[in-house]
Structure 1
């Protein structure tokens, strides 16, 4: 007993297209939808032309390659801009922040408090409790400078 005896190839390709589209929704990977499109186009080819299964597989392979390549080009042509480009760059987010010296900066080295943590700091000598401005980051070391005077 064969399950698909007498089934229309276009129907089978259409079912495959639907299954792949559903799989894309369940497991988003942004590429199954393009293979689903190739299966749908293959269904269209088999609906319009009476072709044997080997040509159907060849058409599906070629259409898959074309649709995945086209999808990749489409995504590359439309880059997604992040609302906050420094979202995942904790160190870069430090630049411009006011920090407090918790270990005196002597000969250019010390420690500063940032929120509830402490960071190594390089900058001009400063006493414990002084407030500094972060001007740069190198690895896990902050570059700090004295705060400019407040305008009167």
Structure 2
């Protein structure tokens, strides 16, 4: 049984491609990288026995995965958690209505856009506070 260096390279790149399509939390990335390293070693040492190559691949794979688990951040906490949730970024802000709220639904101009709002009946010019965002609808409360 003979494994050439290009077999290892093909296996490594195949694992890297699989990583893109499967939710493996970067496991296949490191196993594929280990296969590519073994391919490089096999190219530099063409007489490398295939059993030794498999052992090297296993050791490198386990070491890489364990190192990743140890070194990766425990959580990805953002400094700006509402960056891509625009509606939620308006919670707590106070606005003046340009249009009345009728039957619990109306429109509110926020910066350079108009938002659908839901809340109590309010007249034009009333001051309101955004209390929640529900998709593309802002829920508001009337301020005194």
Give the TM-score taking structure 2 as reference length. 0.61
Name the structure 2 match of 1:95.
91
1:73 Cα deviation (Å)? 1.9
Q: Alignment partner of 1:102: what SS? A: coil
| Contact 1:39–1:60 (CA under 8 A) maintained in structure 2 | no
How far off is 1:112 after superposition? Answer: 0.6
Which of 137, 145, 149 does residue 133 from structure 2 map onto? 137
Q: Paired residue for 1:63?
A: 59
Unaligned runs of 5+ in 2: 1-25, 42-46
Mark the structure with the bigger radius of gyration.
1
TM-score by length of 1: 0.58
Q: Moved runs in structure 1, 4+ residues, more than 3 A? A: none
- CA positional deviation for 1:88: 1.9
By how many angstroms is 1:92 displaced? 1.2
Q: Aligned to 2:108, what secondary structure does the other structure show?
A: strand
RMSD: 3.4
Match of 1:13 in 2: none
1:121 pairs with 2:121: no
Aligned to 1:105, the other structure's residue is in SS state coil
Give runs of aligned pairs for residues 73-84 of structure 1, distance below 5 A.
73-75=69-71, 78-84=74-80
In 2 relative to 1, CA 83–77 (structure 1 residues): closer, same or farther, beyond 3 Å? closer
Task: For structure 1, list consecutive stretches of 5 or more residues without a partner in the other structure.
Answer: 1-29, 44-50
